[in-house]
Amino acid sequence: KQEVTQIPAALSVPEGENLVLNCSFTDSAIYNLQWFRQDPGKGLTSLLLIQSSQREQTSGRLNASLDKSSGRSTLYIAASQPGDSATYLCAVRYSNYQLIWGAGTKLIIKP
């Protein structure tokens, strides 16, 4: 069964720290992997998409890496800010049409 796990479930760090969020998936035969941000009661904002042939993608202070062989992806956030507080979701696309989602990491950045 294809499953996506995100660790930790919650993380609280002081402003300014660099941090890493983890995503693992059981089946390495992925098409792509997408990281999303979700604010409370809000929609899903796409942050980064990594295709299966790529190793990493960068957007501003965010960097996502992909290691298919080990079934892992990380989202690195540099110089965290209170506005980064949200739930970060990892979603994996396999050979069919659907995304398989992790449960998310709830991030709190303390001023």
Partner 1 sequence: EPEVTQTPSHQVTQMGQEVILRCVPISNHLYFYWYRQILGQKVEFLVSFYNNEISEKSEIFDDQFSVERPDGSNFTLKIRSTKLEDSAMYFCASSGLADNTGELFFGEGSRLTVL
Q: What is the largest CA-CA distance in the chain?
A: 42
Residues that bind partner 1 (CB under 8 A): 31-32, 34, 36, 41-46, 49, 51, 89, 91, 93, 96-104
Compare residues 13 and 99 and give the one whose CB is closer to partner 1. Answer: 99
Compare residues 33 and 109 and give the one whose CB is closer to partner 1. Answer: 33
Q: How many CB atoms lie within 10 A of CB 16?
A: 11
Compare residues 41 and 111 and give the one whose CB is closer to partner 1. Answer: 41
Beta bridge partners of 49: 34
Closest contact distance (angstroms) between CB of 4 and partner 1 is 8
Angstrom distance (rounded) from CA 43 to CA 26: 26
